[in-house]
Amino acid sequence: MSEKTTSGRGAVAGQVERPVRPPAPMRAVRLTLKLDADDMRELIYALRTLADHAERGELTSGVSGGPCSGYIYELLQDPTQTHEKYHAALRAYLDGLKAA
């Protein structure tokens, strides 16, 4: 196994070959969120604030924060996706993983 060195990071093991999975199907709405808070109460407050923004149609992508919590978020929407289309795509995706 060959070693690589990245400046300031020390030795890194050799490259491992792994097949790349195709992306899983996405539902009609996906929220990607990284939220940090000082305690559970602040986390709940931040989640409620996000829910209020989503309900008003004000949630897209961005960064927000204050003294007790902060988050990075991205809301993706595909108006053409339906429940039935998602589950058909999911079945095909899972069948493809089993076959591999």
On whether the CB atoms of residues 58 and 49 are closer than 8 A, the answer is no
Q: Which residues pair with 87 in a beta bridge?
A: none
Task: Give the tens place of pLDDT for each residue, 41-95.
Answer: 999 999 999 999 999 999 999 999 999 999 999 999 999 999 999 999 999 999 9
- Domain parsing of the chain, residue ranges: 25-77
pTM of the model: 0.71
Q: Model confidence over 35-46: pLDDT tens digits?
A: 999 999 999 999
Give the residue from 31, 35, 27, 20 showing the smallest Cα distance to 70.
35
